Every structure is written in C-alpha cells, then in structure tokens.
Structure 1
Amino acid sequence: MRPMMYEADGKTSRKDVNNKDAALRLRDLRNLPLLSGFVYNGSEWKNGTIYDLKSGENYSCIIKMNSPDSMLVRGYVGITLLGKTVSFSSVKIKNL
C-alpha cells in the first residue's frame, strides 16, 4: 500500500484536489499542515482544527493524551457530540 501523500511512483506528491477552495487544489499534500490552532489547557489541546484530505473540509478538533504513548483526536462539527474520534499510538522502531 502506498502512502496517501504520494502518487503511485512513491515520489510525486499528490495534490489537494478535494479542497473546496479551487485556488488551493494544486498545492502539494506533502508538508501540508493537517492540525492547527490548538491551545493547551493543562489536560487537552482545544480550539484547533483538523483538515480532512478526503472531503477537503476543516473540522473543529480536540486532542487528549490517552496514555504516554497514545492520543485521542476528535474532529467534530458544531458540538463534540457530532464527530469522530481516532486513536493514534507511537510506534517503537527497532535499531536497523
């Protein structure tokens, strides 16, 4: 499976073709900030946004640490009840 950010050749960056703003559809997905604007309040990051590559939409977002090695990222519309949470875990890489 190839990374979502690159074309089939594994080298050419895909473009932001699903963006609602036609002027932004030619920008590279590589190095595109997907998370922005967060403020840490001591227990979670709030008031940020997450960009969905598939829909081309920005959503409100909250990030909470679930454990030292994992975090919960919730994107939502309007209120947190109307959203989706995804868990991310750190990966242990063995010495090569």
Structure 2
Amino acid sequence: MHTSKPALLALAAGLGLAAPAQAASADSALGTWRTPSKNGTIEISRCGASICGRLVSSDNLKKNPNLRDVNNNDEAKRDRKLQGLQIIGGFEKNGDKWEKGSIYNPEDGGTYKATISLEGPDTLKLKGCIVWPLCKTQTWTRID
C-alpha cells in the first residue's frame, strides 16, 4: 500500500504528533500575572527588544502602598517605592523562552538570573537561580 506524504502529515497532525501550529510568539508573556506567593501581581511589558516586569500589587502593598525597598543590597536604593518597581528585565528571546534575564526579590534584596517560559496561554514558568543548579521555579497565572 502506498501512502502519500501529505496524507501521512495530515494523519500525524490529526493525532497530535505534528509540531504545534502556532509557537509562542515573542509577545505571549506580555500581560498581568499573579505570583504564587503573597498574591503578587506583576505586569510584563515590552522594553525595547526585551521584556520587563513591574510589581503592581501584593498582599503587603494592599496593606501599605508606600512600602519601600528597605532590603535592597544597595543602600542608595532603599528609599524606592516597591509599587511600580521593575523587578524583572534584561531578557533575550531564544525560541519559545526568554533567557539571560534577571529577577529582583524585594524580600531579600537579591537579584537572580532568570528564565521565563510559557506553559500555555495562561501559565508562565519563571526560573530564578542564585547559581546553577541552585534554582527555584515559580508558576505564574495570567489574570488579564
């Protein structure tokens, strides 16, 4: 029995074996995301060819919107307001991931290497590393 290539490709696609029809676009990570800790809300937007994210809200900011960056390792930055503070940035697009970026953690004042990947239209994985392999991955959920 002879089967044509188009027929085989159609069969593979029908069985879900073909590559996804639409890869994650460079703008898929844009939007507003909820973090798993303290109901953090992060807004990710374009920053030139990269993406960056600002802290919009959290449980602590709801209680006190004037919280400052008191744990920053740089003493000169400790008076910055946390609300609206850019906490992720410097990423480079690599296929369906954003790599070589960083995330700032206001709770400990540290900045960590980070990678962002999308697990679906409403699920983002952010991996932050002190040094590899000392990494932690969080799952963020789209809220807009």
Please give the TM-score of this superposition, normalised by the length of structure 1.
0.82
Q: 1:4-28 deviations in whole A, cap 9, x for unaligned?
A: 235x3x5x42000000111111110
The aligned length equals 88
Q: Tell me which amino acid in the other structure corresponds to 1:49.
A: S
Cα distance in structure 1, aligned partners of 2:117 and 2:135: 15
Answer yes or no: is 1:91 the counterpart of 2:140. no
Q: Which residue is equivalent to 2:43?
A: none
Q: Which residue is equivalent to 2:90?
A: 37
Cα distance in structure 2, aligned partners of 1:66 and 1:56: 28
Higher normalized helix content (fraction of residues): 2
Alignment counterpart, residue 5 of structure 1, candidates 61, 72, 75: 61
Q: Which residue is equivalent to 2:34?
A: none
- 1:77 match: secondary structure: strand
**Structure 1 gap segments, 5+ residues each:** none
Higher normalized strand content (fraction of residues): 2
Cα distance in structure 1, aligned partners of 2:137 and 2:60: 20
Answer yes or no: is 1:28 the counterpart of 2:50. no
Answer yes or no: is 1:56 the counterpart of 2:112. no
Q: 1:30-86 deviations in whole A, cap 9, x for unaligned?
A: 11001010011111000100000110010000001011110100100221x211000
| Runs ≥4 residues deviating over 2 A | 1-6
Quick check: which has more Rg, 1 or 2? 2
Q: Higher RCO, 1 or 2 (CA under 8 Å, sep at least 6)? A: 2
Q: Tell me which amino acid in the other structure corresponds to 1:72.
A: K
Cα distance in structure 1, aligned partners of 2:60 and 2:102: 20
* % identical aligned pairs: 31
Aligned CA-pair RMSD: 1.8
**Structure 2 gap segments, 5+ residues each:** 1-37, 39-57
Cα distance in structure 2, aligned partners of 1:61 and 1:4: 24
